[in-house]
Every structure is written in structure tokens, then in C-alpha cells.
Chains A and B, each alone.
Chain A
Amino acid sequence: MVSEELKVINPSGLHLRPAGSLCKEALKYDSKINIIFKDATANAKSVLSVLATCVKCGDVITITCEGKDEKEAMEALRNLINSGFGEVK
């Protein structure tokens, strides 16, 4: 399993649209991917689960990936989050 801490920098946080792109990306990989924030763990492949974490701009989340393609999955999600989901150009 790989795990990494990432800061969410896009202004709206993990609201519907960014949460949607995150899930879309996560669904491309076989690995089990979780988002851990505060005490809650969310399934990164479910937009509802991600929304329920209520992550806002500036929050630091932990992403864990477990599976054959865990490294690739982590890299893709890291790039997406660091790019600000296209909200920050």
C-alpha cells in the first residue's frame, strides 16, 4: 500500500465537480483507493463518499492506494489534486 498527504488547493474544495473528476480518475485503476480526512475514510471511487468528507480549500487529506497499480494511481491523483482540478490555472 502507498499513502501520501496532499493539500487541496482549488477554491471550491472537494465539491461536486472536482469530486466528480477525482472519482473518474480513481475508477481508471484497479487499486482500492481511499481518502482519509479528519476521522473519516471515503471511497475515492464514489462521488457521494468523497462529497461527504466536506473537504475544503486548504485542507490536507491523506490518499491511500492498495493494489497492483497503486503507484500509477497515486501519481495520477497527486497530479490532479496539485493541478487544482483545472480551477486554478
Chain B
Amino acid sequence: MKIYGVGAAEGIGIGIAKVVKEQSVEVVKRNISDIEFEVTNFTEILELTKAETEEMSRSLEKNASAKEAEILVGHIMLMSDPMLIDEMVNLIKNEKICAEYAVEEVCNQYAAVFASMDDELMQQRAADMRDIKDRLIKKIMGLESNDLSTLPHGSILVAKDLTPSMTAGLNPENVLGIVTEFGGKTSHSAILARALEIPAVVGLSDLPEDIEDGSEIVLDGESGEVIVLPTESEKSEYTDKKKKYDEAKKLLKKYLTLPSVSKDGKQVEIVGNIGSPDDVKKVIENGGEGIGLFRTEFLFMDRDCMPTEEEQFESYKQVATAMEGKPVIIRTLDIGGDKEIPYMGIAQDENPFLGYRAIRLCLDRKDDIYIPQLRALLRASAFGNIKIMLPLITSMDEIREAKSLIKNIKAELDEKNIAYNKDIEVGIMVETAAASLLADLFAKEVDFFSIGTNDLIQYTMSVDRGNVKVANLYSAFSPAVLRSINRVITEGKKAGIMVGMCGEAAADPLLVPVLLAWGLDEFSMSASSILKSRQIVSLCDSKDLRAKVDKVLEMGCESEIKDYLKKISEELGC
């Protein structure tokens, strides 16, 4: 029987279902006579549960991540709340009722209050209250809590949902897969499964109630497919898939420690795109040789006031320090009328992508936005190899104005004796038709180029990539786009500056050989694509490829180019 959910942690799992049933605990309102005993007993159990939670949090921190452990630290805080405890104790005393009923009443009340709030974080608190409630009640009633630490080897864990307290004891050696009824890609169980590298499918709304404990089960944590009681042929298909997946993973691990060098000895940099300091870890784990694009928008979004210079400085410094001297290209704020940031007071643009955004907005809002950001960047440059990148450049004036701002801030820092990198590189995103056409002139003005293909395609092809009716025009293989990219690389190389690329195209397996042969120096992509791209680079002979890939510049059709590059890719054995 095949069912589909959300692929939450990639990998193939084949094993025996271990169904973890929520023990439905029926709490009966019992009247009690020995109030003093009930209260003392309750207080003791509360302390015991707190101590156990602390133990779990420590074990989780060791086996998974600090973020997971923090959830449990939160539980301890909630269980220590004097108001919560008083309410429970008073209920026992005044109503002369049993402790489990008091716990149920009070926790439900709070869970309901949190659940009704229009705030995602608060709704998580409701889940926390329910988790605490279940644990306390089971303890009071002397019922076993679900202990996942004893699952036998070869288990596929099947559950409604995984609570933080349940997952704390999970042994990744024994659990080969996780299947849950609730949850999405960002839910607790998904995050944990990825941290432990256990293949997982979540959000299986039609998870059959009657999956029997001990039945065979296979799952694909990428596609979200789960098969209960697979047939022999399905089983062998999954065994093959698992073998392939594991081999690919092993192969890629091999490239983790190798440099990004082509067959003919041309060395390039394969680096990561990140959206917040938290993403750095993944880039390092996947062998990234630096950061090619750090989007700074996250610092400004989902909040009610402008981030301070200090706050920005800390984030930039954190990334620079973590990369230990490897290049970190930080793009200054690229925000505009398409994203709503209420506190900035930016009016909705009728045509946001052609309007007031990125460098245009920043140069217009120097005092409150741009100068604090540039100053934070300069100060952070004392802690690593930070480079500043200006987005959406279309004119020489924009470059010169930004550079003169940077010069003034440097003078101010000198005066105050504040450290920064005096030779900090300043480059531009080449993502507009104007920048591509003026690449020869801009190359003399800046220290590096980074081709932003996502916008370059959009602006070159005059196509909104979000509009499905015209989405077929949106392609990095369009002859116009490839000619533009070729031009930017050629002009950059002529002027002797570094040319990188930070759009999706940089990791496209068909385009990597082309870009390499044309002379691209730096490929920036999401962490998960780094090793695959390094493998492709190592299979290419850039000199040998040059004449072959130059042929695409003479081709007029997108489909023709794509077919041609597919053939080259096959010849290379990618």
C-alpha cells in the first residue's frame, strides 16, 4: 500500500514498523481525602519530572542540536512557574480532587489560551503545555512514558507526532526511518530527523490507523513516498534506491576534502549562499570554500523595528569569524516594494521589480539604512575576509556614490581608531541588462563581479518567473542569457577581476562545464549542491571544453542549447 506525505529528511529507509501509540490517558475526576499527601506527592513528582527533563535536554544537546535542547529548557521554565504550580495546588486543596485532574484542568486552560493567539510562536507554547501535561499525568498515574531509546535495530518509527520529550532518547543507530502523521518540513520532528540524518516522511494525513507493529515498511525521505507491506518487486526497487543513495552520498563525501580543480588543473572556488548566520554550519559541513552570497534581508524582516548597527555587526562578525579567513561576500540590503516591511514605511510599488528597491532605496535612505549597514560591514571586516557586494547596479553613478560613502565611513573609523580591513573589496551583482552591457566599464571601477542569474534572466527575458503562463521563457539556457553571461565573464577577465556567479544556474549540472570553460572563478550555491558541483568540475577539462561550449553562442534556440549541453554532460560522465 503506497501513501504520500512530505519528504522531511532525505534518504531511503527500509525496516520494520515500530508503532508508537499515544497512550490515551483517561483522567477521572476523583475526590480525595488526604489532601496533604496528594499535594506533597504532586510536588515531588513535579521536581522529579523537572530533573528528568534537564537530563533529557543534556542528552539531546549532545546527540542532536542545541536548538532542540532549548525546547526542553523552556519546558523546565514553564514547570517552574509559581502561578501554574499555585493554581494546580489550589485546585487540589479547594476542590479536594486528585492531582492528575488538577494538572489536566490547568494545563488545558493555558494551552487553549496560547492556541487561540494569532502568533505562531505562541501556538508552539500550546504544544509545549500539552507535552508537559501528558508527561506529568503519566508520572502521577504511574504509567510508562514512550521510551524510544530501547527500539531494536532496524526499526522504522511510526507515530502520530514526535514530541521533544519523546525524541530525546532516540537512538539513530537503531532507527532507520521515521514516519509521522503530523508535521511539515519545519516541524520539530523534521528538524530532528535531519539533525540525526534519519530518513523521514511527515504529514501523512492518511496514515492508516491499522499499520501493525512489525509490518515491513519502506520510505523515501525525499519524495515523501511510504509503502506499507511492500511487494517483493517494490522491496527490491527500494533496496536498489538505497544502494544508489548511499553510494552517491559516499562519493560526495570523497569530494569533501578535495580542492575544486578541473582535470587540466584550473582551480575555482565553490562557495555557499546563505540567508542567516545559522546557515554557515551547513556550508562548512558540505565543503564550501567560502560564502559567495550572504543575503542580509533576514536581519530586517519579521520584526517591528530597524536592526541596530550593533546587531548587524554581530551577525556579520559571526559569519566572518566562522569562515576563518575564507572569503565572505555580503550583499547589502536588497529590499523593495515586493516585500512588506511596515516599519520602513516603503509604499507598495505598482511594479516592484522595476521600482524602488535594493541600491536605489539604500542610496535614498543613507542615514537610517545604508550608512549603519556599511559601517557594521566595515567594522566586521576586522574579523575575517569580508567583501561588500552592491545589488541591482545599473549605473556608474550608483557605484561611485556607494564607494564614496564607504570612503567617508573609513575616514570616520580611522579618526575614532576603530579597526577594519583597509583593503576591503567592493564588488557588484551583475543582474541587470544595463550592468551586463556596461560590464567593460564597471570592471574598471570594482574589485569583483558576481552574476546574479535569477534576476539577470528575469530582466533579460522580460519575464516574471512567478507567472506560470510565461514561465517557459524563464531559462538560464536562453541564448540571450548565455550571451550575456559570456560577455560579463569575458569583460571581467579582461580587466583582471574575479568573476563569480550566485544564482541557481551556478549549480546547474549542465551549465557548470560551460561556466568553467568560459573562465568563471567562483560558483556560489546552496550548501547541498556544493559537492556535486565539485565532482563535475573535477571531471572537466576546461581547455578541451572551450571550443565545444563556445558553439552555444551561435545557437538560436533554448531547446537546441539544452540538448547540446546534455550530450556534453553525458560525454563527461557527470
Residues of A within 8 A of B (CB): 9, 11-12, 15-17, 20, 23, 27, 43, 45-49, 51-52, 54, 56-59, 88-89
A27 to B81, CA, bound (A): 10
* Contact indicator B81/A89 (Cβ below 8 Å): no
* Contact indicator A57/B305 (Cβ below 8 Å): yes
* Contact indicator A20/B77 (Cβ below 8 Å): yes
B interface: dominant SS: helix
A-B interface pairs (CB < 8 A), number: 57
Contacts of A47 in B (CB 8 A): 77-78, 80-81
A51 to B82, CA, bound (A): 14
- By beta carbon, the residue of chain B nearest A10 is B311
Q: With A20-B74, A46-B81, A48-B110 known to touch, is A54 a contact of B310 (CB < 8 Å)?
A: no
**B303 interfacial contact with A, CB 8 Å:** yes
A23 to B81, CA, bound (A): 9
20 A-B residue pairs with Cβ-Cβ distance under 8 Å, sorted by A, are A9-B305, A11-B303, A16-B121, A17-B70, A23-B77, A46-B81, A46-B82, A47-B77, A47-B78, A47-B81, A48-B78, A49-B83, A52-B113, A54-B117, A57-B303, A57-B305, A58-B304, A58-B305, A88-B310, A88-B311
**B338 interfacial contact with A, CB 8 Å:** no
* Nearest-Cβ distance from residue B126 to partner chain A, whole angstroms: 11
From A17, A20, A51, A58, give the contact of B122 (CB < 8 A). Answer: A51
Restricting to B99-128, which residues have a CB under 8 Å from any CB of A? 110, 113-114, 117, 119, 121-122, 125
* Contact indicator A57/B304 (Cβ below 8 Å): yes
A73 to B80, CA, bound (A): 21
* Contact indicator B81/A48 (Cβ below 8 Å): yes
* Contact indicator B119/A54 (Cβ below 8 Å): yes
Contact with A along B297-312 (1 / 0, CB 8 A): 0000001110110110
* Nearest-Cβ distance from residue A44 to partner chain B, whole angstroms: 11
Residues of B within 8 A of A (CB): 70, 74, 77-78, 80-84, 110, 113-114, 117, 119, 121-122, 125, 303-305, 307-308, 310-311, 314, 343
Contacts of B84 in A (CB 8 A): 46, 48
A47 to B84, CA, bound (A): 9
Contacts of A45 in B (CB 8 A): 82-83
A48 to B79, CA, bound (A): 10
* Contact indicator B303/A16 (Cβ below 8 Å): no
* Contact indicator B121/A15 (Cβ below 8 Å): yes
* Contact indicator B304/A56 (Cβ below 8 Å): yes
- By beta carbon, the residue of chain B nearest A46 is B83
From A11, A16, A43, A54, give the contact of B74 (CB < 8 A). Answer: A16
* Nearest-Cβ distance from residue A83 to partner chain B, whole angstroms: 12
- By beta carbon, the residue of chain A nearest B125 is A51
Taking A12-B121, A15-B121 as given, write out 16 further A-B residue pairs in contact, using a Cβ cutoff of 8 Å, ordered by the A residue number: A11-B311, A16-B74, A17-B70, A23-B81, A27-B82, A43-B83, A45-B82, A46-B82, A48-B110, A49-B83, A51-B122, A52-B114, A57-B303, A58-B305, A58-B343, A88-B311
